[in-house]
Chains A and B, each alone.
Chain A
Amino acid sequence: MLQRYWFGDVDEQGCRSAGTDPAALAKRAATLRTGMESYVPIEWEIARDCGVVQDREGYIDLLRAVCTTLAREKIAVAYQGRDVELLQMVRMLDELDNVINLLSERAAEWYQVTNPAFSRKYRYLPAKKMPGIIRKGARGGLSDIADEIDRLAGVRSRLMREVSARAGGVMPNVSALIGGLVAARLLSRAGGLSALARMPGSTIQVLGSEQALFSHLRGGTPPPKHGIIFQHRRVHNAPREVRGRVARVLAAKLAIAARLDYYRGVLAPEFLDDAQKRIDEAGVVA
């Protein structure tokens, strides 16, 4: 039986070497298709007798060079996908949110201590506005921190716009249905566009509510109606009694949209019109 190995072809007649250049060997190895029924593992001595290498050390060295070259190429290909960087961007965005919240809370606590008369009660003072007040009222370290928080907030909103724009390019149909930011969050949770495109609607519906889902599966608690897609206005603005239905229909359409994005990559207006109509219908209380 013919065996096609990385260093050459071997059969009853003997061995035909494929050369000793790692780059050329890697190129050839990438094209090999091995049938496992008749496969026999390599005996490295064949490569020696074939004249490819002198000894075992040389055999392993050359093999390592070939495999490393191949691996580097495969890594480069894996990172080529346009969703790879978007994934990191969304995760950075969510991390920024966390950091900004933590810092603002802490800064507000600090500010209250320095200013005994200050209270947030009866004033509309969301955490967002606190850094501004602190900057005016505080001095020294606290005011520096308020400056930093403000700058971070600016970084965050610029990044958010970038994420939205990028998501519109990478997944036009999903973004058209739920907006770039939520689309990007779905992508991040799924781990990539290819993964998202392979998910059923029911999984997309509860992406991001894993804790509730598993506590439901373990028994007892009610199932989650929605995960990340709750962030879309059509879900969280829907009347309570139809919210589950809206989430389900939206998720089902998202599953189709993700596949369109992955396999086609361009906007599909006729699908979108249809889907929008269907989702709107789901939100109507009978």
Chain B
Amino acid sequence: MIRIGNVLVSPGEGGVYGERMLEGYRVWDPYRSKFAAYYLLGGELELTPGMRVLYLGAANGTTVSHVADYVETIYAVEFAPRPMQDLLEVARRRKKIVPIMADANQPYGYAPFMEAVDLVYQDVAQPNQVEIAEKNLVFLKPGGYLVLMLKTRSVDVRRDPADVVAEAREGLSQHLDVVDLRWLEPYHHDHAAIVCTRRG
């Protein structure tokens, strides 16, 4: 990952969402992007130029645009029409992004477009986030990574976030090896990044 001093940046054409530029690089803001927060808090998963990524919950394409700056191809799945409009515009200017309008809960909706990927990144506000991740493992190469940005409040607002994370971790360990777990404080409250690898 490219850093200038303490600032995380990505190489690419700027002006996607009014992000600041620094020495010709796009500043990747940890307050706007959970993935950036993960890196600034010491996350070690490197994005490399050969990587193929499945990004679930692409939203407006803000984080997607930064990830696309680093990798070879990114399949960006988003379900809601309003953010999809923005995502299409981002994808029009970034040839690495394949924008897919589909429900991450129903992988058969986008399976005919998918190749095997090195990284599945998931950031969806759904109660069954672990289940969704498991359904999408079919696209993940053995040895590949899953990054689950667990939104504990979407799982259950009433429960203690620490419990929710512990349960998610247990669920994921059935099929995956959890290699890293990181709370995203102070950038994002009640969110945890869980990084796993697929056995293989």
Residues of A within 8 A of B (CB): 4-6, 29, 32-36, 39, 41-44, 60-61, 63-64, 66-68, 70-72, 74-75, 78-79, 214, 217-218
**Chain A at the B interface: SS class:** helix
User: Which residues of A have CB within 8 Å of B112?
Assistant: 4-6, 29, 32, 34
Q: Are the C-beta atoms of B81 and A67 separated by less than 8 Å? A: no
Contact between chains at B100 and A35 (CB < 8 Å): no
25 A-B pairs within 8 Å (CB atoms) are namely A4-B112, A32-B112, A34-B108, A34-B111, A36-B135, A39-B138, A41-B114, A43-B115, A43-B116, A60-B95, A63-B113, A66-B113, A68-B88, A70-B100, A71-B84, A71-B100, A72-B88, A74-B81, A74-B84, A74-B101, A75-B84, A75-B85, A79-B81, A217-B158, A218-B158
Q: CA A214 – CA B156 in complex, angstroms?
A: 12
Is the CB–CB distance between B98 and A64 below 8 Å?
Answer: yes
CB atoms of A64 and B81 under 8 A apart: no
Complex interface bits, B113-137 against A, C-beta within 8 A gives 1, otherwise 0: 1111100000000000000000100
Contact B115 A70 (CB under 8 A): no
Q: How large is the interface on B (under 10, 10 to 19, 20 to 34, 35 or more residues)?
A: 20 to 34
Compute how far the CA of A274 lies from the CA of B97 in the bound complex, rounded to whole angstroms.
Answer: 55
Chain A residues within an 8 Å CB radius of B108: 33-36, 39
A79–B114 alpha-carbon span in the complex (Å): 27
Report chain B residues within 8 Å CB of A44.
Answer: 115
Given A41-B116, A41-B138, A217-B158, are A75 and B111 neighbors across the interface (CB < 8 Å)? no
B91 on the interface (CB 8 Å rule)?
yes
Minimum Cβ distance to chain A for residue B88 (Å): 6
* Contact A68 B99, beta carbon cutoff 8 Å: yes
- The answer for the CA separation of A265 and B107 in the assembled complex, in Å, is 32
Contacts of B114 in A (CB 8 A): 41-42
Q: Is B96 an interface residue (CB 8 A)?
A: yes
B77 to A: closest C-beta gap in Å? 10
**B-side contacts of A35, CB under 8 Å:** 108
In whole Å, how far is A218's beta carbon from the nearest beta carbon of chain B? 7
CA distance A71 to B91 in the complex (A): 12
Interface string of B72-115 (1 = CB under 8 A from A): 01000000010011001001100111111100000110011111
A103 to B8, CA, bound (A): 43
The 7 closest A-B pairs by CB, nearest first: A71-B101, A78-B81, A41-B116, A34-B108, A34-B111, A42-B115, A75-B81
Say whether A41 contacts B139, CB under 8 Å.
yes
Min Cβ gap B171→A in Å is 19
Given A70-B101, A218-B158, list of 18 further CB < 8 A pairs?
A: A6-B112, A34-B108, A34-B112, A36-B108, A36-B111, A39-B108, A39-B111, A41-B115, A41-B138, A43-B115, A60-B96, A63-B98, A66-B113, A67-B99, A67-B101, A72-B88, A74-B81, A75-B85
> Considering the chains assembled together, what is the distance between the CA atoms of A226 and B191 in angstroms?
32
Bound CA span A146–B85, Å: 39
- Selected from B88, B92, B95, B116, the residue in CB contact (under 8 A) with A61 is B95
The answer to whether B138 touches A36, judged by C-beta atoms less than 8 angstroms apart, is yes
Residues of B within 8 A of A42 (CB): 113-115
Contact assessment for B116 and A64 in the assembled complex, using a CB-CB cutoff below 8 Å: no
